[in-house]
Each structure stands twice: as structure tokens, then as C-alpha cells.
Structure 1
Amino acid sequence: MKHLLKLLLIIATLFASTFIAVKLMGVLTLDQIEGWLTQAQNISPIYVGVMVTIILFMDLFIAIPTLTVIILSGYFLGHTYGAIAALSGTMLAGICGYIISRYYGNQIMSFLIKDRDKRIEAISAFEKSGFIMIILSRAVPILPEASACLAGMTKMKFWKFFLAWSISTIPYVLIATYAGSISTTSDPKPAILTAILISSFLWVSWFLYHRHIQKKPI
């Protein structure tokens, strides 16, 4: 398990570096994203949906505040269309991360973990715990994309990855977009409370799972 966690940490660090770089350059800030969505709404809701999808897909390459963008999707488009746009982006990001890593994962993993036995151990650990890790991955920013890439690297069966990613993503998006849809600028409380509750629930779930696997014999 320790080699799997090491690999996960390295991948997550790479994603985090993009977030830091973006912050330093002052691009893709929340104010900018909200401004773009406001401008797009003045043209057509279709543009808002396309923009939400693109921004959430870009999360695969540049770490962005996913939950906030999903809530904004519900705010600008309403629950149904906001959920469709957000699901399109998040599902595409996960599937593309899986496919890219499946084709290039061997080279990447060999570079990150030189020892063949350690790579085998990491793959074996992900086979045992990967499904649950993907489901709980939204507890921590960056972890969903990192886990999708790990699923591809370790050659997890696509149907298994897709099921875990769907269980992780669909309820998350539906709840967040609904909160956005019933929030207003004068009453943002539903969105704020939902963000806190979702994050807290996933954090507790991840903490309990982490404690559980730590108690298992290595």
C-alpha cells in the first residue's frame, strides 16, 4: 500500500503544481470564471453549458475549484441543465484521464517507480482498494483526477472504473447543482451549506477508510 500511496502522492503533486502555476499567473480565478459565465449567460445559456463543460474537463490538466464551478453551473443554468453540463465535463475528464494513462501509464509508472517489484505491489494494492478510492476521491481536491490516472496506469477494467467514477461523480454533481439552483446572490446559504456538508461527509468517509486500511496487515 505504501508504494501505491507514494505513486498517488507524486501524481497529486504534479496536479497541484498546475494549480500553483495558475494562481501565480492570475488566470482561471473564481472571479474570472464567474465573469465568463455571466457574459456567456447574456449571450445564450448554451454558451454557459459549453463553458462549464470545458472548464470542468480542463480540470484534468489544470487543477480548478471543481465544486464551486459545479455549484455555479446550477446557479446559472438551473438544476437540470446545470447537472447535464457539469456531468459532461466531469465524466469526460475522468474517462480521458483513464484512457491517456492506460496507453502511457507503463512508461510513466516506470519513471516514477524504478523498482519493478514495487510497481507490482502498487498495482496489486490498487486492484484491492482502487474502487473505493475512486468513490471517495472527491473528499480531496486533485484526488479524483489522480485516481482516474491511477486506474488507467494499473489497467483497471474500464467498466469497473466507469462504475466507480459514476458513483463518485453523479450524486456529487446532482447535489451541488441543486444547491446552486436554489441559491441567489442575496441568499447564497444553500450553496455554502452544501459545499461544507459535502466536503465534511467525504472527509469523514475518507478518514475512516484510511484508518481501516492502515489496520490491515501489510
Structure 2
Amino acid sequence: MRALLKVIVILALLFAATFVLIKSTGLLSVAQIEAWLTAAKDLSPLYVGSIVALLLFADLFIAVPTLTVTILAGYFLGYSYGALSALLGMQLAGCCGYVISRRFGDSVFCFLLKDENKRAEAIASFQRHGFAMILLSRALPILPEVCACLAGMTRMPFLKFISAWSLSTTPYVLIAAYAGSLSSLENPKPAILTAIFMSFFLWCAWFIYHHKNKKVRQNRAEQLINS
């Protein structure tokens, strides 16, 4: 598991570096995104949906405030179209991350873990825990994109990956877009409460998963000792 954690940390730091760069340059702030969507709304809802989808797709390459963009999509486009555009962007980001990493990930994986045994250990760990990791990845920024890349690098079957990604992404998008559709500048409470609730729920799910997994490892260790 340590080898897998090492890869996760390095990839997360690379994604985080883009966030720091954007923050330091003042590019892609929430205020700017809101201004773009406001301007696009005056032209056509199609432009708003396109901007939302492109922003969430770009999250694969640069850190984008995913939850905020999804809530804004619901606010500007309404529940149905907001959810559709956000879901499209996130699905494209996940699939693209998987495909690129599956195609070019071997060299990156070998660079990050030069020891063949550690690479095998990391792959085995992700095969055991990868589905759950993708399922709960929305608990943290950057983690979904890292998991998508790891799924490609470790050659997780695409059907398994897209199932976990969809189960993680779809409820997240539907809830956030609905909260955005109920919110307004005068009443941002639904969006704020939703953001808090989703973060709390996903963190609790991570805690429960980690606790159960720890107990399983302890039981296996005891069985090995007794045998």
C-alpha cells in the first residue's frame, strides 16, 4: 500500500501545483468563472453549458473548483441542463484521464516507482482498493483525477472504471446542480448547505471504509500468526 500511496501523493502534488499556479496568477478564479457564465447566459444557454463542460473537462489538466462550477451550472442553467453539462464535462475528464494514462502511463509509472516489486505492489493495491477509491474520490479535490490516471496506469478494466466513476460522479452532480438551481444571490443557503453536507458525507464514508479495511488487515495478520 505504501508504494501506491507514494504514487498518489506525487500525482496529487503535480495537480496541486497547477492550482497554486492559477491562484498566484489570478487566473480562473470563482469570480471570473461566474462572470464568464453571466456573459454567456446573455448570448445563449448553449454557451453556458459549453463553458461548464469545458471547465470540468479541463479539471483533468488544471485544478478547477469542481463543486462550485457544478453549483453555478445549476444556478445559471437550471437543474436538468446544469446537471447534463456538468456530467458531460466530468465524464469526458475521467475517460480522457483513463485513456491517456493507459496509453502513456507505463513510462510514468516506471519513473515514479523504479523498483519492479514496488510497481507490482502498487498495482495489486489499486486492484484491491481502486473501485472504492474512485467511488469515494469526490471527498477531496484532485483525488478523482488522480484515481482516473491510476486506473489507466494499472490497467483497470474500462467497464469497472467507468462504473465506479459514474457511481461517484452522477449523484455528486445531480445533488450539486439541484442545490444551484434552488440558490440565488439573495439566498445562497442551499448551495452552502449542500457543499457542507456532501463533504461531510464523503468524509464519513472514507472513515468507515478505512476502519473496515483496517479490521480486515488485522484479522488477516492474526490468521497468519495463528497458522
Aligned pair 1:111/2:111, yes or no? yes
Corresponding residue of 2:68: 68
4+ residue runs over 6 A deviation = none
Between the aligned partners of 2:208 and 2:10, the Cα distance in structure 1 is 23
Aligned-pair distance for 1:138? 0.3
Q: What are the Cα deviations for residues 51-81 of structure 1, in whole angstroms up to 9, with x where unaligned?
A: 0000000000001110000000000000000
User: Given the two structures, how large is their TM-score scaled by the length of structure 1?
Assistant: 0.98
User: Given the two structures, how large is their TM-score scaled by the length of structure 2?
Assistant: 0.94
Corresponding residue of 1:33: 33
Corresponding residue of 1:188: 188
Corresponding residue of 1:167: 167
Q: What are the Cα deviations for residues 116-163 of structure 1, in whole angstroms up to 9, with x where unaligned?
A: 000000000000100000000000000000000000000000000000
Between the aligned partners of 2:17 and 2:123, the Cα distance in structure 1 is 25
Between the aligned partners of 2:135 and 2:98, the Cα distance in structure 1 is 15
Aligned pair 1:135/2:135, yes or no? yes
Structure index of larger Rg: 2
Aligned pair 1:199/2:202, yes or no? no
Between the aligned partners of 1:86 and 1:58, the Cα distance in structure 2 is 12
Instruction: Specify the code of the residue in structure 1 equivalent to 2:174.
Output: L
Corresponding residue of 1:5: 5
Instruction: Specify the code of the residue in structure 2 equivalent to 1:37.
Output: L
- Map 1:71-90 onto structure 2 (within 5 A): 71-90=71-90
Corresponding residue of 1:57: 57
Between the aligned partners of 2:183 and 2:140, the Cα distance in structure 1 is 24
Instruction: Specify the code of the residue in structure 2 equivalent to 1:47.
Output: Y
Instruction: Specify the code of the residue in structure 2 equivalent to 1:171.
Output: P
Between the aligned partners of 1:122 and 1:137, the Cα distance in structure 2 is 18
Instruction: Specify the code of the residue in structure 2 equivalent to 1:107.
Output: S
Aligned-pair distance for 1:212? 3.0
RMSD of equivalent CA atoms: 1.0
Aligned-pair distance for 1:213? 3.0
Q: Which runs of 5+ in 1 are unaligned?
A: none
Percent identity over the alignment is 60
Instruction: Specify the code of the residue in structure 2 equivalent to 1:199.
Output: S
